[in-house]
């Protein structure tokens, strides 16, 4: 219930001119040109389209699309585009957040963009890539040794590992997956 009094989220997005007509700033400019002024003044961002379009006139009316209609739009668009699966508005959010994690966007920026109020909720979307796991394994195997500090024999065979490395160790509630 505390969410009812949240301020609108401000998302900073810069123009990416090399994207041309696919740039989000360009798309929003086009959209706002086609929405009647009164719709914008009433802060109605999602509005219904008109059934017929007249050149030089708005393409939309100022009547806001309500929550129930918005919640079914992604599902309807996916069905119209023959995209299989149960796609929802949340699917778009999930895809966007996961994509940003894959591209190594800092968590703080992802959180600001997605509107997640906690890092715990945000991290649900974070998936480790095999490349990240391999690099982490390499990092942990190497310890403080830098590539330049290895001698020729180590470079060919990889780092030397002490076979007694885990002697005397006790592990509980752990699963090791060695690839």
Q: Do residues 75 and 136 share a domain? A: yes
How would residue 1 be classed by pLDDT, with cut points 50, 70 and 90?
very low
Give me the pLDDT at residue 154, please.
Answer: 47
**For residues 17 and 134, which has the higher predicted lDDT (pLDDT)?**
17
Residue 50 maps to a domain:
yes
Overall average pLDDT of the 125-138 stretch: 75
Overall average pLDDT of the 109-132 stretch: 82
Q: Do residues 44 and 78 share a domain? A: no
Q: Do residues 34 and 84 share a domain? A: no
Overall average pLDDT of the 85-109 stretch: 87
Residue 128 maps to a domain:
yes
The residue behind tokens 């310890």 is 143
Query: What is the distance between the alpha carbons of residues 152 and 100, in angstroms, rounded to a whole number?
Result: 39
Residue 155 maps to a domain:
no
Q: Do residues 72 and 46 share a domain? A: no
Give me the pLDDT at residue 101, please.
Answer: 87
Residue 169 maps to a domain:
no
Share of the chain above pLDDT 70, in %: 77
- Mean pLDDT comparison of 2-16, 105-119, 134-148, highest-scoring range: 105-119
Q: Do residues 53 and 74 share a domain? A: no
Residue 4: which H helix or E strand, with range? none
Q: Do residues 53 and 81 share a domain? A: no
Query: What is the distance between the alpha carbons of residues 109 and 45, in angstroms, rounded to a whole number?
Result: 24
Q: Do residues 100 and 135 share a domain? A: yes
Q: Do residues 35 and 88 share a domain? A: no
Q: Do residues 139 and 87 share a domain? A: yes
Residue 177 maps to a domain:
no
Query: What is the distance between the alpha carbons of residues 163 and 167, in angstroms, rounded to a whole number?
Result: 8
**What residues make up the domain containing 4?**
1-65
Q: Do residues 71 and 126 share a domain? A: yes
pLDDT greater than 70 at residue 56: yes
Q: Do residues 72 and 98 share a domain? A: yes
Q: Do residues 36 and 5 share a domain? A: yes
How would residue 36 be classed by pLDDT, with cut points 50, 70 and 90?
very high
pTM (predicted TM-score):
0.56
**Residue 126: exposed, middle, or buried by beta-carbon count in 10 A (0-12, 13-18, 19+)?**
middle
Query: What is the distance between the alpha carbons of residues 44 and 66, in angstroms, rounded to a whole number?
Result: 10
**For residues 128 and 110, which has the higher predicted lDDT (pLDDT)?**
110
């Amino acid at each position: 219930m505390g969410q009812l009094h949240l301020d609108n989220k401000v998302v900073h997005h810069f123009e990416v001119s090399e994207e041309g007509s696919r740039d989000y700033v360009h798309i929003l400019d086009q959209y706002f040109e086609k929405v009647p002024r009164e719709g914008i003044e009433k802060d109605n961002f999602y509005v219904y389209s008109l059934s017929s379009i007249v050149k030089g006139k708005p393409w939309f009316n100022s009547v806001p699309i309500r929550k129930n209609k918005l919640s079914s739009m992604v599902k309807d668009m996916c069905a119209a585009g023959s995209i299989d699966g149960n796609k929802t508005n949340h699917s778009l959010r999930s895809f966007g957040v996961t994509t940003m994690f894959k591209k190594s966007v800092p968590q703080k920026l992802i959180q600001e963009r997605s509107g997640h109020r906690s890092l715990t909720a945000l991290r649900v979307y974070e998936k480790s890539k095999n490349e990240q796991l391999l690099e982490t394994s390499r990092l942990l195997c190497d310890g403080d040794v830098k590539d330049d500090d290895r001698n020729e024999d180590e470079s060919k065979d990889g780092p030397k590992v002490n076979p007694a490395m885990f002697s005397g160790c006790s592990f509980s509630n752990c699963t090791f997956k060695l690839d």
